[in-house]
Amino acid sequence: MKLVCGLGNPGARYAGTRHNAGFMAVEAFCDKLNPSWFEKWESRIARVEFQGVQILVQEPLTFMNLSGFALVRAAGFFRIAVDDVIVVHDDIDLPIGRVQVKFGGGDGGHKGIRSIIEQLGSGDFARIRVGVGRPAGRGPDVVDFVLQPFSADEEKELSEAIDVVSVAIREWVVGGVPKAQNKVNRRGNPKRGEPSCPPERSDGPKDREEV
């Protein structure tokens, strides 16, 4: 069994925001596979099948900074190895419309990824980064920015990116990270002037919070 975990924050307040790109992406992937959603392990869960492979799709409902607790509970119940886990998350280092598959690394300032690394005890898992851009000039700070909805102009690019995420997940399920990377990572390049490093984000208190 494979585990596909999309990151986001629960509730209507956060629906459609940049930080919920992971939720949106895994839901779009599931929609074509007739999912049946239910709640368990502090998560919204669907079980689907693709080319004979059983897939557990997860949306943690713990809020972003505690995502790792929900992931390890679901993975532990089904005895899913870390090699069979992929996490889909928003990334401010990529422009809107860009999708990148990677394996391992640090958290890049993303609290959901940080929580997963802490709970797994390792960063050696697959990820799909969904570009959400970053505030330009004297715009809102990063925390406020990722909790904002996408603009009307951005929604088309986001929709195309979400389609690419579905391709990436399918390629990963049947061929692993290299196959997904070969299919997805060569699509397009960051826009000119796009920063390469995010500003530092503080860890914040170890309780439920959205960012």
Active site positions, annotated: 19
Q: Tell which residue, 6, 13, 16, 10, has the closest CA to residue 159.
A: 16
Q: Which two tokens stand for residue 132?
A: 């959400």
CA quadruple 67, 69, 70, 73: dihedral sign: positive
Comparing CA positions, the residue from 209, 17, 28, 12 lying closest to residue 132 is 17
Of 156, 94, 159, residue with least CA distance to 127: 94
Among 61, 78, 79, 83, residue whose Cα is nearest residue 70: 61
Q: Is the dihedral of CA 207, 121, 165, 61 positive or negative?
A: negative
Find the Cα–Cα–Cα–Cα dihedral 22, 27, 33, 37, rounded to 10°: 120
